[in-house]
Amino acid sequence: MGKIGFLGPVGTFTEEAAALVGDNLVAFDTILQVLDAVEKNEVDVGVVPIENSIEGPVGITLDLLVHDYDLKIKREIIIPVSHNLLINPKTNINNIEFVNSHMQALSQCRNFIESLNVVVNATPSTSAAAEMVKGNNNSAAIGTKRAAEIYGLKIVETDIQDYKNNVTRFVVISKKDHGQTGNDKTSIVFSIVEDKPGGLYEILGLFADNNINLTKIESRPSKEKLGNYIFFVDLEGHRTDELIRYILNIIRSKVGYIKVLGSYPKEGED
Protein backbone atom coordinates (compact mmCIF):
# COMPACT_ATOMS: atom_id res chain seq x y z
CA MET A 1 0.00 0.00 0.00
CA GLY A 2 1.26 3.47 -0.91
CA LYS A 3 0.32 6.71 0.84
CA ILE A 4 -2.72 6.62 3.11
CA GLY A 5 -4.45 9.91 3.80
CA PHE A 6 -6.54 10.22 6.95
CA LEU A 7 -8.50 12.79 8.90
CA GLY A 8 -5.90 13.99 11.38
CA PRO A 9 -4.24 14.90 13.53
CA VAL A 10 -2.29 11.97 14.96
CA GLY A 11 -3.62 10.46 18.16
CA THR A 12 -7.22 10.09 16.95
CA PHE A 13 -9.40 7.06 16.27
CA THR A 14 -9.11 7.79 12.55
CA GLU A 15 -5.35 7.39 12.76
CA GLU A 16 -5.94 4.06 14.53
CA ALA A 17 -8.17 2.95 11.66
CA ALA A 18 -5.70 4.18 9.02
CA ALA A 19 -2.87 2.27 10.70
CA LEU A 20 -4.77 -0.95 9.97
CA VAL A 21 -4.45 -0.18 6.25
CA GLY A 22 -0.72 0.53 6.24
CA ASP A 23 2.03 2.58 7.86
CA ASN A 24 2.69 5.33 5.29
CA LEU A 25 0.21 7.77 6.83
CA VAL A 26 -0.47 11.37 5.82
CA ALA A 27 -2.70 13.51 8.07
CA PHE A 28 -5.15 16.09 6.68
CA ASP A 29 -7.17 18.72 8.52
CA THR A 30 -10.59 17.98 6.99
CA ILE A 31 -12.52 15.13 5.37
CA LEU A 32 -12.77 17.25 2.21
CA GLN A 33 -8.97 17.49 2.03
CA VAL A 34 -8.65 13.71 2.39
CA LEU A 35 -11.03 13.01 -0.49
CA ASP A 36 -9.45 15.75 -2.58
CA ALA A 37 -6.02 14.16 -2.09
CA VAL A 38 -7.39 10.81 -3.31
CA GLU A 39 -9.01 12.50 -6.31
CA LYS A 40 -5.74 14.24 -7.24
CA ASN A 41 -3.60 11.09 -6.68
CA GLU A 42 -1.67 12.75 -3.86
CA VAL A 43 -2.45 9.64 -1.78
CA ASP A 44 -3.48 6.15 -2.87
CA VAL A 45 -6.41 5.85 -0.47
CA GLY A 46 -8.09 7.94 2.20
CA VAL A 47 -9.54 6.91 5.56
CA VAL A 48 -12.47 8.89 6.98
CA PRO A 49 -15.27 8.25 9.50
CA ILE A 50 -18.71 7.57 8.04
CA GLU A 51 -20.87 6.44 10.97
CA ASN A 52 -20.95 6.17 14.76
CA SER A 53 -23.20 3.69 16.53
CA ILE A 54 -24.37 6.37 19.00
CA GLU A 55 -24.23 9.65 17.09
CA GLY A 56 -25.26 8.27 13.68
CA PRO A 57 -23.91 9.16 10.23
CA VAL A 58 -21.06 11.57 9.52
CA GLY A 59 -22.97 13.89 7.21
CA ILE A 60 -20.01 15.58 5.55
CA THR A 61 -18.56 12.24 4.40
CA LEU A 62 -21.87 11.15 2.88
CA ASP A 63 -22.51 14.51 1.23
CA LEU A 64 -19.05 14.68 -0.36
CA LEU A 65 -19.30 11.15 -1.76
CA VAL A 66 -22.71 11.90 -3.25
CA HIS A 67 -22.35 15.45 -4.53
CA ASP A 68 -18.68 16.28 -5.01
CA TYR A 69 -16.47 13.25 -5.73
CA ASP A 70 -16.68 10.20 -7.97
CA LEU A 71 -14.78 7.99 -5.54
CA LYS A 72 -15.52 4.53 -4.19
CA ILE A 73 -15.60 2.77 -0.84
CA LYS A 74 -12.92 0.07 -0.98
CA ARG A 75 -13.06 -1.20 2.60
CA GLU A 76 -14.80 -0.61 5.91
CA ILE A 77 -13.08 -0.60 9.29
CA ILE A 78 -14.99 -0.80 12.56
CA ILE A 79 -13.20 0.54 15.65
CA PRO A 80 -14.52 0.24 19.22
CA VAL A 81 -14.57 3.72 20.75
CA SER A 82 -13.21 3.87 24.30
CA HIS A 83 -12.91 7.40 25.67
CA ASN A 84 -10.43 8.28 28.42
CA LEU A 85 -9.95 11.28 30.70
CA LEU A 86 -6.42 12.63 30.27
CA ILE A 87 -4.68 15.01 32.67
CA ASN A 88 -1.16 16.18 33.39
CA PRO A 89 1.04 13.81 35.42
CA LYS A 90 1.50 16.25 38.33
CA THR A 91 -2.15 17.00 38.92
CA ASN A 92 -5.24 15.04 39.96
CA ILE A 93 -8.85 14.88 38.96
CA ASN A 94 -9.99 17.10 41.86
CA ASN A 95 -8.07 20.06 40.37
CA ILE A 96 -9.89 19.88 37.03
CA GLU A 97 -12.05 22.87 36.15
CA PHE A 98 -12.19 22.46 32.35
CA VAL A 99 -12.73 19.45 30.07
CA ASN A 100 -11.79 19.73 26.40
CA SER A 101 -12.55 17.45 23.48
CA HIS A 102 -14.18 17.07 20.08
CA MET A 103 -17.93 17.73 20.13
CA GLN A 104 -18.78 14.08 19.39
CA ALA A 105 -16.60 12.83 22.23
CA LEU A 106 -18.16 15.36 24.61
CA SER A 107 -21.67 14.27 23.67
CA GLN A 108 -20.73 10.58 23.99
CA CYS A 109 -19.45 11.19 27.55
CA ARG A 110 -22.21 13.52 28.73
CA ASN A 111 -23.09 11.69 31.94
CA PHE A 112 -19.48 11.42 33.10
CA ILE A 113 -18.78 15.09 32.35
CA GLU A 114 -21.85 16.22 34.29
CA SER A 115 -20.59 14.33 37.34
CA LEU A 116 -17.39 16.43 37.32
CA ASN A 117 -19.13 19.83 37.47
CA VAL A 118 -16.68 21.45 35.03
CA VAL A 119 -16.69 23.90 32.13
CA VAL A 120 -16.72 22.14 28.74
CA ASN A 121 -14.79 23.36 25.69
CA ALA A 122 -15.13 21.92 22.18
CA THR A 123 -11.95 21.40 20.12
CA PRO A 124 -11.32 20.43 16.47
CA SER A 125 -10.30 16.88 17.51
CA THR A 126 -9.65 14.75 20.58
CA SER A 127 -5.93 14.97 19.84
CA ALA A 128 -6.07 18.77 19.69
CA ALA A 129 -7.71 18.71 23.12
CA ALA A 130 -4.84 16.61 24.51
CA GLU A 131 -2.29 19.04 23.07
CA MET A 132 -4.15 21.98 24.59
CA VAL A 133 -4.20 20.37 28.04
CA LYS A 134 -0.48 19.61 28.15
CA GLY A 135 1.08 21.72 30.93
CA ASN A 136 -2.31 23.09 32.04
CA ASN A 137 -3.02 21.55 35.44
CA ASN A 138 -6.64 22.67 35.80
CA SER A 139 -7.72 21.20 32.45
CA ALA A 140 -8.43 17.67 31.22
CA ALA A 141 -8.98 16.19 27.78
CA ILE A 142 -11.16 13.35 26.59
CA GLY A 143 -9.02 11.39 24.15
CA THR A 144 -7.29 8.19 23.13
CA LYS A 145 -4.52 6.26 24.83
CA ARG A 146 -2.33 7.15 21.86
CA ALA A 147 -2.96 10.88 22.47
CA ALA A 148 -1.93 10.41 26.11
CA GLU A 149 1.35 8.84 24.95
CA ILE A 150 2.02 11.57 22.37
CA TYR A 151 1.46 14.49 24.75
CA GLY A 152 2.80 12.98 27.97
CA LEU A 153 -0.52 12.88 29.82
CA LYS A 154 -1.82 10.33 32.29
CA ILE A 155 -5.12 8.48 32.05
CA VAL A 156 -7.16 8.85 35.23
CA GLU A 157 -10.44 7.34 34.01
CA THR A 158 -11.08 4.83 31.20
CA ASP A 159 -14.23 3.87 29.28
CA ILE A 160 -16.04 7.05 30.30
CA GLN A 161 -18.47 6.98 27.37
CA ASP A 162 -22.17 6.71 28.27
CA TYR A 163 -22.71 3.60 26.14
CA LYS A 164 -20.19 0.77 26.21
CA ASN A 165 -21.15 -0.62 22.79
CA ASN A 166 -19.83 2.53 21.11
CA VAL A 167 -18.15 1.86 17.75
CA THR A 168 -17.22 4.05 14.80
CA ARG A 169 -17.26 2.83 11.23
CA PHE A 170 -14.54 4.17 8.95
CA VAL A 171 -14.28 3.73 5.20
CA VAL A 172 -11.25 3.47 2.95
CA ILE A 173 -11.83 5.69 -0.08
CA SER A 174 -10.18 4.95 -3.44
CA LYS A 175 -10.59 5.45 -7.18
CA LYS A 176 -11.86 1.85 -7.39
CA ASP A 177 -13.79 -0.37 -5.01
CA HIS A 178 -12.95 -3.96 -3.99
CA GLY A 179 -13.33 -7.12 -6.01
CA GLN A 180 -15.62 -9.96 -4.97
CA THR A 181 -14.71 -11.90 -1.83
CA GLY A 182 -17.92 -13.88 -1.25
CA ASN A 183 -18.66 -11.90 1.93
CA ASP A 184 -19.37 -8.44 0.56
CA LYS A 185 -21.45 -5.36 1.15
CA THR A 186 -22.55 -2.72 -1.36
CA SER A 187 -23.44 0.90 -0.57
CA ILE A 188 -25.81 2.80 -2.86
CA VAL A 189 -27.58 6.14 -2.78
CA PHE A 190 -30.71 7.07 -4.73
CA SER A 191 -33.53 9.60 -4.94
CA ILE A 192 -37.11 8.97 -6.01
CA VAL A 193 -38.47 10.81 -9.07
CA GLU A 194 -41.68 11.93 -7.41
CA ASP A 195 -43.06 11.88 -3.89
CA LYS A 196 -45.87 9.32 -4.08
CA PRO A 197 -47.37 6.78 -1.68
CA GLY A 198 -45.34 3.58 -1.70
CA GLY A 199 -42.49 5.09 -3.75
CA LEU A 200 -39.76 4.05 -1.33
CA TYR A 201 -41.45 0.72 -0.58
CA GLU A 202 -41.45 -0.09 -4.30
CA ILE A 203 -37.67 0.18 -4.36
CA LEU A 204 -36.96 -1.53 -1.05
CA GLY A 205 -39.44 -4.28 -1.90
CA LEU A 206 -37.16 -5.38 -4.73
CA PHE A 207 -34.57 -6.43 -2.19
CA ALA A 208 -37.11 -8.24 0.01
CA ASP A 209 -38.61 -10.06 -2.99
CA ASN A 210 -35.14 -11.29 -3.96
CA ASN A 211 -34.09 -12.19 -0.39
CA ILE A 212 -31.33 -9.55 -0.25
CA ASN A 213 -30.62 -8.34 3.28
CA LEU A 214 -30.35 -4.60 3.86
CA THR A 215 -27.96 -3.71 6.70
CA LYS A 216 -28.65 0.04 6.76
CA ILE A 217 -31.26 2.48 5.45
CA GLU A 218 -31.15 6.19 6.15
CA SER A 219 -32.16 9.44 4.49
CA ARG A 220 -30.60 12.85 4.15
CA PRO A 221 -31.89 16.10 2.63
CA SER A 222 -31.14 16.27 -1.09
CA LYS A 223 -30.00 19.92 -0.75
CA GLU A 224 -32.27 20.78 -3.71
CA LYS A 225 -35.44 21.81 -1.90
CA LEU A 226 -37.18 21.29 1.44
CA GLY A 227 -38.84 17.89 1.64
CA ASN A 228 -36.64 16.22 -0.99
CA TYR A 229 -34.50 13.38 0.31
CA ILE A 230 -31.85 10.99 -0.86
CA PHE A 231 -31.67 7.48 0.57
CA PHE A 232 -28.54 5.61 1.59
CA VAL A 233 -28.76 1.83 1.58
CA ASP A 234 -26.18 -0.80 2.53
CA LEU A 235 -26.99 -4.26 1.21
CA GLU A 236 -25.37 -7.65 1.41
CA GLY A 237 -23.69 -8.77 -1.80
CA HIS A 238 -21.33 -7.36 -4.46
CA ARG A 239 -22.43 -5.03 -7.25
CA THR A 240 -21.09 -7.53 -9.81
CA ASP A 241 -23.16 -10.43 -8.42
CA GLU A 242 -25.71 -11.40 -11.05
CA LEU A 243 -28.71 -10.88 -8.75
CA ILE A 244 -27.45 -7.56 -7.36
CA ARG A 245 -26.70 -6.30 -10.86
CA TYR A 246 -30.24 -7.28 -11.92
CA ILE A 247 -31.84 -5.42 -9.01
CA LEU A 248 -29.71 -2.29 -9.51
CA ASN A 249 -30.71 -2.17 -13.19
CA ILE A 250 -34.40 -2.27 -12.23
CA ILE A 251 -33.88 0.49 -9.67
CA ARG A 252 -32.16 2.65 -12.31
CA SER A 253 -35.34 2.54 -14.38
CA LYS A 254 -37.50 3.64 -11.42
CA VAL A 255 -35.53 6.42 -9.71
CA GLY A 256 -34.39 9.91 -10.61
CA TYR A 257 -30.84 9.30 -9.43
CA ILE A 258 -28.75 6.37 -8.28
CA LYS A 259 -25.06 6.04 -7.48
CA VAL A 260 -23.15 2.97 -6.37
CA LEU A 261 -20.73 4.15 -3.67
CA GLY A 262 -18.81 0.89 -3.76
CA SER A 263 -18.68 -2.82 -2.98
CA TYR A 264 -16.27 -4.06 -0.33
CA PRO A 265 -15.71 -6.87 2.19
CA LYS A 266 -17.99 -6.88 5.23
CA GLU A 267 -16.33 -6.40 8.59
CA GLY A 268 -17.64 -7.21 12.04
CA GLU A 269 -21.28 -7.37 13.03
CA ASP A 270 -23.91 -4.95 11.80
Q: Cite the active site residues.
A: 168, 170
Q: Where are the alpha helices (DSSP H) in 31-138?
A: 31-39, 59-67, 103-108, 110-116, 126-133
Distance of alpha carbon 251 from alpha carbon 232, whole angstroms: 13
52 with 81: CB under 8 angstroms? yes
Could you list the beta-strand ranges (E) of 163-254: 167-174, 184-192, 214-221, 229-236
255 forms bridges with which residues in the sheet? 192
Q: Which residues contact 234 (CB under 8 A, 6 or more apart)?
A: 185, 186, 187, 214, 215, 216, 217, 270
Distance of alpha carbon 155 from alpha carbon 113, whole angstroms: 15
Distance of alpha carbon 177 from alpha carbon 185, whole angstroms: 11
